[in-house]
Structure 1
Amino acid sequence: MPLDPRVRAVTERIRTRSAATRSDYLAACDAAAGKGPQRGQRLSCTNLAHGFAACPSGDKQALRSGPQANIGIVSAYNDMLSAHQPLETYPALIKAAAREVGAVAQFAGGVPAMCDGVTQGQPGMELSLFSRDVIALSTAIALSHDMFDAALCLGVCDKIVPGLLIGALRFGHLPVIFVPAGPMVSGMSNDAKTEVRKRFAQGLVSRDELLEAEAKSYHSPGTCTFYGTANSNQMLMELMGLHLPGSAFVNPGTPLREALTQQAARRVAQITALGDEYTPIGRVVDERTIINGLVGLLATGGSTNHAMHLVAIARAAGVLIDWTDFSELSDVIPLLTRIYPNGKADVNHFHAAGGFGFLVRELISAGLVHDDVLTVAGQGLAHYAEEPWLGDERLGWRPAPATSGDTSVLRGVAEPFAADGGLKLLAGNLGRAVIKTSAVADAHRVVEAPARVFASQEAVIDAFKAGELNRDVIVVVRFQGPRANGMPELHHLTPSLTVLQDKGFKVALVTDGRMSGASGKVPAAIHVSPEAVAGGALARLRDGDVVRLDSNTGTLAALVDAAEWAAREPVRFDSTEGEHGMGRELFAGFRQLAAPAESGGGIFFGGQ
């Protein structure tokens, strides 16, 4: 199917916009590539001896003689995160599989991996966004020794995969495959969990009852099963051609999961510059790849966090995208899944219904993705319309199911859940923001109500408990951007705001902070840019100002007389409370350097 002309137009606009930065990036990749293994070209004997000193004798001899591929393993393993606990056993599997094909694998380095599920509503959440850039820096350090011909990146969750990818892209001459761990098996239903959370917010159930419900939801090794940022990351890696096909949602601890991990090692050894299939990551990730990832995000109702992460990833490869690109593509891309918080199912149900292979084939057949891209599996996206399987203990791929096994979870392009992808740009006198509407009912797509302005989510919750928000209200939480306090997620507000909406009030959230990748049925204008601390208009808002959030027309505005609005003095930010404790003082430099949300919200590439 020819590429949809609207998708082509956005792609060409991005290509034109990015011509200079992309050219510079590719020139840097080519300059780094050189000829042959870099350890044999640039490292001195002393350098090289240090690099293989601790290797087993066979690996040491292979690295000493030179022609074998050496694979660097960069891992986000820790055993506090359920999603990353399975990664503990991966290095041994990878090393053994690499030796089978005459290669060597070394553990190059670990990167930090924090969990937003643990830090939601806590001071540690103010380190969350910047952990992405720390992970990118850590990846760069791991690969800085010039010992490697390729890399495997082991990671799953929110900031971790974007950070690994940003770091790996700065070594664009290396082939890189991303190796996931897979979701935990399904636990307590999402509907039941949400109901307990709402009842706890109203004081109707005890903390012990809430904890029991949460423990039944998050109960074993593997990724959380709702479709938040972690699982959106896995979708992105598939559609960007950086996973082996069908890797994302195979459960941990299964023979198929182990076989895919081993095959990733074999495959990355095949695509180094030492062979005939050289596939450097800098050539895999281009403007078409970025568009494919964005299309997948929209078609699946993915995480709003990628309105920043995907921007930052693209910039690491010299590709410049913005929220206008997101919004224009959203008008074109149909919503093909209903996975919580956009439905009742979890990612295991999605996988069983036909999963990623079915989704990719539908997008290719409708001309909504670029199918002529380079991937780690070879040329063309069609490989990703296949699913992995084990036959006679051998890993193979076969066509994904031709029809959805459950049309309440997964549908084809001919019968989508919605005609658009539900991630929209909002703009007006309050700035530019994004909103996810795929889980928002039509009746709540437009909210016009008096504002109640807060400077912290704790203050919102206190007001809710005091009964002060029992009315039509637009809750404004400002001074939550990257430069103010590191831009924590405000998912802790979801139960309270949902209760207000369920009481029949018109409710919305407006903030220069982030919502969770699991943001749901309450309309939320998030990432408002410029942020209040950097001269953004949210600093001019006052309690009682009427605000209009219209996701149909893309409007976010304070309905205040223009002359009065211009004359108002912005409220000044009091940063004293959030500058210290829980390590926040160490990130003062990050806050000063942080780019606006629409430029990725990080400390790299903000001037591009």
Structure 2
Amino acid sequence: MSSLHDTVHRVTQRIVERSADSRRRYLDLMEREGDRHADRNTALACSNLAHGFAASAEDKPSIATRAGPNIGIVTAYNDTISAHQPFGAYPPQMKVWAREVGATAQVAGATPAMCDGVTQGTDGMELSLFSRDVIALSTAVSLSHCMYDAVAMLGMCDKIVPGLLIGGLRFGYLPTMFFSAGAMPTGISNKEKQRVRQFYAEGKATRAELLKSEAASYHSAGVCTFYGTANSNQMMLDLMGLSLPGAAFINPGTPLRQALTRASVHRLAAITRDGNDYRPLAKCVDEKAVVNATVGLLATGGSTNHALHIPAFARAAGVQIDWNDMAELSSAVPLLARVYPNGADDVNHFQAAGGLGFVVRELLDAGLIHRDIMTVHGENLSAYALEPWLDGEELAWRDPGPSGDETILRGAAAPFAPEGGMRLVEGNLGRACFKTSAVDPERWTIEAPCRVFDDQRAVAEAFAAGELDRDVVVVVRFQGPQANGMPELHKLTPPLGVLQDRGYRVALVTDGRMSGASGKVPAAIHCTPEAVSGGPLAYLRDGDVVRLCAERGELTTTADLTSREPATMTEDLHGVGRELFAMFRTGADSAEHGASAMLAAGGL
């Protein structure tokens, strides 16, 4: 058994020491809350309890007498998100499977679940990040009935899993498992999809041709197959041991997917407080689990959005992690996977090559993740170094063996790169994240005059007018959480990619987000402090020379910003419900702290 890597040990200890007080207060709260709500027959008056099981038909006697554990289902089902559409069928099935082991199940409540793919480039995207807080609040409302002995979380995509996790952690005395619906089958190649997008950006493809291409890519139920935030979520749940091993990417509607869902219900019923194998969420999500999630993100070149989400859900568990910790881990963690947009192939190919079982095994053997964490399945994380399969009709796990395709997945001894996929860049323009795993190392350093924009539509207009046909650092400011909710700026990828393909040296600097689908263009994102609160980007002017260097961790300008007045934001934040989210913008803390108004207001 390999000893823990020095860097992983050092960073973990630093997080433990930094979090000592907040973690202690969190665990004390969970112990008190667990004791208060251990028995719903004493915590709830008869009228309250009767309301809670009034519609439960044959399950009424069991719920009333606590004859078996009652599982609360929190669902993010809707028909608009392909990844969540399968969840519509889950609760009726889960109730049957719960009865098989003497348990019951109720839908405790639902959360909103928006799709960034639908809202990209629109005003609705400005609600996206704060939907995470709304989801966490909705989860808390769902569980506030205190009718449940365990929680089943049905959710997969971008802000949804972090939101469910944040809300669930405030009920951390309950065992909690996450249920996936799996990745949709592979559509057209990612290379072809990217080609048509860039042709459309250049005016060489029609809207009808673009729509046909997109519909051939996003074509059925299941999560989108690129390795963005949704699939990074599923990876992190494995690395923290919060779902059954290897359940992440199994396609919807398959016998293996159904077997995993059934087994998850059975397992959840077995780890409640009343049994002899109690595994509360509060004990599962600790400092070591947070480090594991971070290492997994870096080793697989996952979504940059998790530079926001990891600090946020960690705070909900009393754990404090920052970008310095993530950057230091990245310096020691090798890149083991090349999955689109960091490679040519999608998560189905990744799964076929060995998937997360292979990744967990390699990271454990190299001492890069913590084995000794409490998981919902198995004695420790070793159980997650396996892949699920059906042995006849029985669910089983086996060693994934060697990589099935070394263009997608490699071992820790011969990785794609010696370091992980993310670096911290900082200087007189602030602190920001740079996703190196998606960018050719020859483009890690860009120094050029900047062109400053206040929104991405203006960038598209300047590109169409030929104003960006040169070496340029495109600065898009007033995109932070306090400004307009920190939307993703993924619509910038095709035009900036076209400029780069034309031979220009191009980079993006922004206080907004790019995307879990961040691609080949070098970008400093999540820049903090943000422009609207007086951050340095507010003082930049067209023509100022900006230097972005991932190699040396630099984000600087040669311009003298001290003698200037800051630019002011002019965007009208009315329409598509944005005015309702003003309190979230006003109270949001920095990107590095998770960009959350809710956590800041709660003193977390």
TM superposition score category, shorter chain reference: over 0.9
**Deviation for aligned residue 1:392:** 2.7
Q: C-alpha distance in 2, partners of 1:506/1:183?
A: 35
State the match for 1:585 in structure 2: 579
Matched, 1:115 2:139: no
State the match for 1:51 in structure 2: 52
State the match for 2:448 in structure 1: 449
In the TM superposition, 1:558-577 aligns within 5 A as: 558-560=557-559, 564-575=560-571, 577=572
SS in 1 for 2:156: coil
**Deviation for aligned residue 1:422:** 2.2
Q: C-alpha distance in 2, partners of 1:212/1:421?
A: 35
Q: C-alpha distance in 1, partners of 2:36/2:558?
A: 62
Q: C-alpha distance in 1, partners of 2:484/2:36?
A: 45
Query: What is the TM-score of this pair, normalised by structure 2?
Result: 0.99
SS in 1 for 2:488: coil
SS in 1 for 2:447: strand
State the match for 2:468 in structure 1: 469
**Deviation for aligned residue 1:37:** 3.8
State the match for 1:386 in structure 2: 386
State the match for 2:556 in structure 1: 557
SS in 1 for 2:597: coil
Counterpart contact for 1:359–1:385, Cα < 8 Å = yes
Q: C-alpha distance in 2, partners of 1:378/1:144?
A: 29
Q: C-alpha distance in 2, partners of 1:74/1:259?
A: 20
1:168-218 deviation digits (Å, cap 9, x = unpaired): 000010000000110000000000000000000000011111111001000
Counterpart contact for 2:300–2:421, Cα < 8 Å = no
Counterpart contact for 1:36–1:274, Cα < 8 Å = no
Q: C-alpha distance in 2, partners of 1:481/1:601?
A: 9
**Deviation for aligned residue 1:307:** 0.1
In the TM superposition, 1:25-424 aligns within 5 A as: 25-34=26-35, 37-57=38-58, 59-399=59-399, 401-424=400-423
SS in 2 for 1:604: helix
State the match for 2:25 in structure 1: 24
Q: C-alpha distance in 2, partners of 1:139/1:112?
A: 10
State the match for 1:432 in structure 2: 431
SS in 2 for 1:565: coil
Counterpart contact for 2:174–2:281, Cα < 8 Å = yes
State the match for 2:485 in structure 1: 486
Q: What letter corresponds to residue 485 of structure 1 in structure 2?
A: N
**Deviation for aligned residue 1:36:** 7.3
SS in 2 for 1:374: coil
**Deviation for aligned residue 1:299:** 0.2
Q: C-alpha distance in 1, partners of 2:236/2:365?
A: 19
State the match for 1:603 in structure 2: 597
Q: C-alpha distance in 2, partners of 1:445/1:411?
A: 23
**Deviation for aligned residue 1:231:** 0.3
Aligned length: 601
Q: C-alpha distance in 1, partners of 2:401/2:56?
A: 47
1:208-229 deviation digits (Å, cap 9, x = unpaired): 1111100100000000000000
Query: What is the TM-score of this pair, normalised by structure 1?
Result: 0.98
Q: C-alpha distance in 2, partners of 1:558/1:587?
A: 34
Q: C-alpha distance in 2, partners of 1:527/1:35?
A: 41
Counterpart contact for 2:584–2:598, Cα < 8 Å = no
Q: C-alpha distance in 2, partners of 1:253/1:545?
A: 54
Q: What letter corresponds to residue 153 of structure 1 in structure 2?
A: M
Q: C-alpha distance in 1, partners of 2:210/2:490?
A: 16
Between 86-95 and 29-38, report the one with greater CA deviation: 29-38
Q: C-alpha distance in 1, partners of 2:93/2:288?
A: 33
**Deviation for aligned residue 1:63:** 1.1
Q: What letter corresponds to residue 330 of structure 1 in structure 2?
A: S
SS in 1 for 2:475: strand
Q: C-alpha distance in 1, partners of 2:263/2:36?
A: 26
SS in 1 for 2:581: helix
Q: What letter corresponds to residue 427 of structure 1 in structure 2?
A: E
1:488-527 deviation digits (Å, cap 9, x = unpaired): 0000000000000000000000000000100011000000
Q: C-alpha distance in 2, partners of 1:298/1:604?
A: 27
**Deviation for aligned residue 1:232:** 0.3
State the match for 1:5 in structure 2: 6
SS in 1 for 2:496: helix
1:102-143 deviation digits (Å, cap 9, x = unpaired): 001001011000000000000000000000000000000000
Q: What letter corresponds to residue 162 of structure 1 in structure 2?
A: P
1:559-582 deviation digits (Å, cap 9, x = unpaired): 12xxx421211112224x2x2100
State the match for 1:541 in structure 2: 540
Q: What letter corresponds to residue 595 of structure 2 in structure 1?
A: G
Q: C-alpha distance in 2, partners of 1:36/1:49?
A: 17
SS in 2 for 1:295: helix
**Deviation for aligned residue 1:604:** 2.8
Counterpart contact for 2:245–2:388, Cα < 8 Å = yes
Counterpart contact for 2:200–2:210, Cα < 8 Å = yes
Identity of aligned residues (%): 61
Q: C-alpha distance in 1, partners of 2:303/2:276?
A: 37
SS in 2 for 1:389: strand
Counterpart contact for 2:287–2:319, Cα < 8 Å = yes
**Deviation for aligned residue 1:263:** 1.0
Q: C-alpha distance in 1, partners of 2:392/2:287?
A: 40
Q: What letter corresponds to residue 473 of structure 2 in structure 1?
A: I
Counterpart contact for 2:226–2:346, Cα < 8 Å = yes
